Amino acid sequence: VANLAGVISLIAGLLMWVTSLRSVRKWNFEIFFYTHQLYVVFVLFLAFHVGDFIFSFAAGAIFIFMLDRFLRFIQSRKTVDMILARSLPCGTFELVFSKPASLRYNALSFIFLQIQELSCLQWHPFSVSSSPMEGKHHLSVLIKVLGEWTDKLKSRISKNDKEPQKLLQSQLQSLITASVEGPYGHESPYYLTYKHLVLVAGGIGISPFLAVLS
């Protein structure tokens, strides 16, 4: 039984390793993402294979990981209202969400975003582009189309890339159901301690700096 469990764990580990190669991730991120849910199979059958004594050395770290996953799951169960969706030039679009009163963020924070119409499992990180000083009741992110998930999301907002489109909350309710997890990042606006700042960014990397400059 131990040998069979070891083989199953090895196969799961190899599948996760192969699909994590850069070429596979670039070719099809969905395969990479869903294959990595096999970590449950990997850990479970690894425990059967190595036995209680050896597995106990890793049990603490695994418990902390599972606790983190559970707390993040509880936090992310609630959906947020999308106030505005606006397509911008160069394959970029902006999403503006209503901000729950309990959610506090700083410039340079980032959130994980889930769109239920696209996937119930995928959470993607995006830098917050709105300032916490002016966005007391909303939170916004800028997203550039760089893969299948972002391409599908943009297609739900704008059918024609050549014509910028702006959708309001009443139009978005039937199109997008969003959940937000976070924010993560720096707890304090440490950049305010400096008299002068030099900010260097390019492309969509300018997003977090917009929050600093606002």
52 shares a domain with 137: no
Contact by Cβ (8 Å): 161, 91: yes
Same-domain status, 131 and 175: yes
Look at residue 171 and tell me whether its pLDDT is greater than 70.
no
Domain end: 25, 55, 75, which one? 75
How do strand 82-88 and strand 92-98 relate by DSSP bridges? antiparallel
pTM: 0.70
Q: Examine the fold and report which residue of 43, 75, 107 is the final residue of a domain before the chain moves on.
A: 75
CATH number at residue 152: 2.40.30.10
In this predicted model, what pLDDT tens digit does every residue of 197-213 receive, in sequence order?
Answer: 787 877 777 777 777 77
* Structure confidence at residue 5 (pLDDT): 87
Q: Which stretch of 38-42, 132-136, 155-159, 166-170 has the lowest confidence by average pLDDT?
A: 166-170
Asked if residue 193 belongs to a domain, the reply is no
Q: Tell me: do 67 and 91 sit in the same domain.
A: no
Question: Looking at residues 29-39, what average pLDDT do you find?
Answer: 86
List C-alpha distances in Å: 73 to 49, 70, 114, 185: 29, 5, 12, 19
Q: Are residues 89 and 145 in the same domain?
A: yes
Is 94 a member of any domain? yes
Range with lowest mean pLDDT among 79-83, 126-130, 151-155 = 79-83
* Residue at 87 is within a domain: yes
Contact 81, 169 (CB under 8 A): yes
User: Exposed, middle or buried by CB within 10 Å (0-12, 13-18, 19+), for 143?
Assistant: buried
Residues 143 and 169 in one domain: yes
User: Rounded to an integer, what distance in angstroms lies between the CA atom of residue 46 and that of residue 19?
Assistant: 20
- Provide the pLDDT confidence category of residue 17 given band limits of 50, 70 and 90: very high
User: Is 195 domain-assigned?
Assistant: no
- Closest by alpha carbon to 87, among 153, 170, 173? 153
Are residues 90 and 34 both part of a single domain? no
In a domain, 196, yes or no: no
Question: Residue 18's pLDDT is what?
Answer: 94
Name which residue leads in pLDDT, 190 or 64.
Answer: 64
User: Is 39 found in the same domain as 125?
Assistant: no
43 φ, ψ to 5°?
A: -70, -40
* Structural domain range at position 156: 79-188+201-213
Instruction: Using pLDDT thresholds of 50, 70 and 90, give the confidence band for residue 175.
Output: confident
Give the total number of structural domains in the chain: 2
Cis-peptide into 183, omega within 30 deg: yes
Radius of gyration of the chain (CA): 21
Residue 116 covered by a domain: yes
The whole-number pLDDT of residue 11 equals 93
The region of weakest confidence among 36-40, 45-49, 162-166 is: 162-166
Do 118 and 55 share a structural domain?
no
Say if residue 97 is in the same domain as residue 61. no
pLDDT at residue 106 above 80? Answer: no
For residues 62 and 144, membership in a common domain is answered with no
Which secondary-structure segment (H or E) carries 7? helix 2-19
Q: Is residue 194 part of a domain?
A: no
d(Cα 162, Cα 164) in Å, to the nearest integer? 6
